[in-house]
Chains A and B, each alone.
Chain A
Amino acid sequence: MADEILRVENLHVSVEGTPILKGLSLTIHRGEIHAIMGRNGAGKSTLANVVMGHPAYEITSGRIYFKGEPLENLEVFQRARAGMFLSFQYPAAIPGVQVGTFLKKSVASVRENPPKGREFRKELNAAMDQLSMDKSFLSRYVNDGFSGGEKKRLEILQMLLLQPHLALLDETDSGLDIDALRIVAQGINEVAVDSACLIITHYQRLLDLVKPHYVHAMIDGVIIRTGGPELALELEDRGYDWLEVTA
């Protein structure tokens, strides 16, 4: 069995007193790609945010382990430095901060032996080429006035540069046209070889390009069924009602 990266045990989470996750369990190992599918409001994004440590989400019971260590005492930035990465569904804009500066500082604070100077630029250029990103991106302000697709590309660029052990991808496919989707998928596949990936999505189309090992169907804060890639096709085809009936 490969190394365990993430283990979620019977997790209950509330936001402002409203329970969202109601006993969710999940384990992901290195080299595995997991997909979580579910309707809006099922709690998918909550799971990604709570694993990353968003302060608005309160864990009422259950635990999260990262590489075997409980997470609760780690602050968000410490989780990032430990190797966790969240690709945001709605990345925040940071006006006035140039993408180039931001990436350099972020890589320097997250990676253990961060590349410097020319080495960093080389790595950055390669990653941007791979994602078909123009160099003019670097002088723009982080996510400020970006289109949906540009934001998602910047998220994936960060993922490539930060080299996480766990990548949480929250609806990274939404708002992408098919060409962009292909490019983004290629980035995910590259990172997924050596890390654990959790893909949150509504749609099958990303999963055509990034083959998941496991697909989880989520309803009302719990995983109601787990299967292989075929489950994703079935969900796309039949929706979620049949699961509720059989549950």
Chain B
Amino acid sequence: MTDDTQDIIGDYKYGFHDPENSTIRFDKGLSEQVVRDISELKNEPEWMTDIRVKAYRHFEERVMPEWGNCALLDSIDFESITYFLRSSNKTEKSWDDVPDDIKNTFDRLGIPEAEQKWLGGVTAQYESEAVYHSIREDLEEQGVIFLDMDSGLKEYPEIVKKYFGTVIPHSDNKFSALNTAVWSGGSFLYIPKGVHVEMPVQAYFRINAKNMGQFERTLIIADEGSSVHYVEGCTAPSYSTDSLHSAVVELIAMDGAKIRYSTVQNWSSNVYNLVTKRAVAHRNATVEWVDGNIGSKLTMKYPSVLLKGEGAHAEVISVAYAGKGQHQDTGAKVHHLASNTTSNILSKSISKDGGRSSYRGLLQVTPKSTGCRSKVVCDALILDSDSRSDTYPTMEIGNSTSDLEHEASVSKVSNDQLFYLMSRGFNEEAAMGLIVNGFFEPFTRELPMEYAVELNKLLELEMEGSIG
């Protein structure tokens, strides 16, 4: 699977090949026709085609953001990207039916094993679409719907139509417009009233081809009093040319519901990761974003929560690791739109080997939202003098009855810490690894143990061989 051309069969311009063939690949580049072709290929209802086309037109008109890393954003060549690639004709319910090479990839990523041990359901997306999907029977019996988004649209069009784009309209930003135009795959998850999903459900996103664009679309609805923990992971092979991952994730937590959404993003350093994630929390609902960004060339992602109902609560815990050639522009946005809503934001970043991490945050309390409480903590750790960290916090506080705290710190690893650890037998790399793992601990402890272990290993690897 090192050369993406070998397993590409389809060559039909702007469209799909003989349906007998197992693979469809669109030509590079984007046009209204490509957008229509994607919709047609998927046999979508007309309203979805219309939304896509409208979004495409908006994308064309919309200028690039004039903030963030403009130089990198402007270097994206939208014409060199493949917008749709089907690797397997069906979304399988058994790993045995997934094509061997793809199954091997997910085996190597440990997904089937994790599924057996501790997950309530799994979606595995490869390029543009889900190749595998399953959910535990007991969850299905309780009415939980967990599908890839394409199947979700087919089987539950009325729910999708009701909520799709309501949290993140296509016109929200240039990349939400792009995603809405060409979306494919992603998860559709609905938790019925009062159902508590005890085991996490997971989606895994894999880009395999060169110059690939992955545009998954996720919609999670937790009905009144229900709860769920959704986990996503993502990786891609390293190529010298760039790929684009631009997802849109919409969460809706009804009254008293709780959604936790955990991400461990480890894209290869040729991937642009430009993702819009936003949640609505109704009365007494809780939304938690647990967001880890380790990979990618440029990530711009600011998980948001609209606290719409009284007593709602938002929690955003994020970490970013910016190594060589990486810029992690991440943060959080919380809008207190109702009274007595509360939020906690904890952001931690590490910059190393010339990497750059930026925290961009927005905290808004509207004038009528009284008695709100919020705490924002931003900690940056810079490991060498080539690296950089910036903080761009914005606060819009509309009344004086709210209680807000903001703390920010930038630190370096102290010689005292290194000397102490080395006097206990740790070499410099191991000592750095411990300090870095410790710095991220408030994040890793929120992850399921298996992910925490994996993340710590990953960070220790990042510390290796780079200290001189």
Contact = CB atoms under 8 A, between A and B. Distances in A.
Interface of A: 52-56, 75-77, 79-81, 85-86, 88, 90-97, 102, 105-106, 109-110, 141-142, 158, 162
Interface residues of B, number: 24
A54 B418 CA distance: 10
B420 A141 contact: no
16 contacts: A52-B423, A76-B423, A77-B425, A77-B431, A80-B424, A88-B420, A88-B423, A91-B420, A94-B421, A94-B438, A95-B439, A97-B435, A106-B426, A109-B424, A110-B424, A141-B441
Main secondary structure of the interface of A (DSSP, over half): mixed
B425 A96 contact: no
Given A77-B426, A109-B430, A110-B425, A97 B438 contact: yes
Contacts of A92: 414, 416-417, 419-421
Nearest to B443: A96
A76 B422 contact: yes
Contact of A80 (B417, B425, B438): B425
A94 B431 CA distance: 10
B419 A94 contact: no
Contacts of A102: 424, 434
A141 B440 CA distance: 13
Contacts of B416: 90, 92
B31 to A, nearest CB: 50
B415 A56 contact: yes
Interface string B393-428: 000000000000000000000111101111111111
B436 to A, nearest CB: 9
B424 A162 contact: yes
Contact of A55 (B415, B417, B431, B441): B415
Contacts of A97: 434-435, 437-438, 441
A80 B422 contact: yes
B442 interface: yes
Given A97-B435, A110-B424, 12 more contacts: A52-B423, A53-B423, A79-B423, A80-B425, A91-B420, A92-B416, A96-B438, A105-B426, A109-B424, A109-B425, A141-B438, A162-B424
A171 to B, nearest CB: 15
A97 B420 CA distance: 13
Interface of B: 414-417, 419-428, 430-431, 434-435, 437-442
A78 to B, nearest CB: 8
Contact of A54 (B419, B427, B439): B419
A86 B425 CA distance: 11
B417 A77 contact: no
A75 to B, nearest CB: 7
Nearest to B428: A77
Contact of A94 (B420, B427, B440): B420
Nearest to B435: A94
Contacts of A76: 419, 422-423
A95 B434 CA distance: 10
A105 B440 CA distance: 18
B437 A96 contact: yes
Nearest to A106: B424
A86 B423 CA distance: 7
B83 to A, nearest CB: 42
A96 B436 CA distance: 9
Contacts of B442: 96
Nearest to A91: B420
Contacts of A158: 424
A232 to B, nearest CB: 27
Contacts of B421: 92, 94
B131 to A, nearest CB: 37
Contacts of B434: 94, 97, 102, 105
B437 A55 contact: no
B143 to A, nearest CB: 39
A92 B414 CA distance: 9
Among A88, A92, A102, A105, the one with the most B-chain Cβ atoms within 10 Å of its Cβ is A92
A110 B424 CA distance: 7
Contacts of A53: 422-423
Contacts of B428: 77
A97 B430 CA distance: 13
A75 B422 contact: yes
Nearest to B440: A96
Nearest to A49: B419
Q: Which of B415, B421, B425: most chain A Cβ within 10 A?
A: B425
A90 B428 CA distance: 20
Nearest to B421: A94
Contacts of B425: 77, 80-81, 106, 109-110, 162
B457 to A, nearest CB: 14
A134 B456 CA distance: 27
B201 to A, nearest CB: 28
A81 B362 CA distance: 49
B310 to A, nearest CB: 35
Contact of B427 (A56, A77, A91, A95): A77
B419 A55 contact: yes
A168 B178 CA distance: 64
A94 B427 CA distance: 15
A55 to B, nearest CB: 7
A87 to B, nearest CB: 10
A92 B440 CA distance: 18
